[in-house]
Amino acid sequence: QVQLVESGGGLVQPGGSLRLSCAASGFIFSNYAMSWYRQGPGKERELVASIANTGGSTNYADSVKGRFTISRYNAKNTVYLQMNSLKPEDTAVYYCNAKHALYTLRKYNYWGQGTQVTVSS
């Protein structure tokens, strides 16, 4: 029943922008912190950005700080990643992740299937 569906990926030139969306269903969205991860070719999966279940706090990897913005709209069960000033090294499959905000319930941890972002001229 739990489903996370990413969209918005594609091919973009260096310096361009994309907005990724992740639509969630099958759980109480407002109880979960949301994150975006990515995995580039030949690299390990890394955390890109995260946002608290309330939307009150955010965190970013140093490599994207100042360029990417994570946000959520709980009424629509959706989390977004606005990506600006894209670089070739941003090329990766981007994954949406949901983790319950309560430490004791952290085993409730879900992943989307990913969306491809390619930054190339």
Q: What is the pLDDT of residue 66?
A: 98
Average pLDDT of the chain is 97
Interval 54-112: pLDDT, tens:
999 999 999 999 999 999 999 999 999 999 999 999 999 999 999 999 999 999 999 99
Report the run of H or E that residue 115 belongs to, with start and end.
strand 115-119
Q: 14-44 burial string, b = 16+ CB within 10 Å, else e?
A: eeeebebbbbbeebebeebbbbbbbeeeeee
- CA separation for the pair 20, 81 (Å, rounded): 5
| pLDDT band, residue 10 (cuts 50/70/90) | very high
Q: What is the pLDDT of residue 16?
A: 98
Residue that wins the pLDDT comparison between 56 and 21: 21
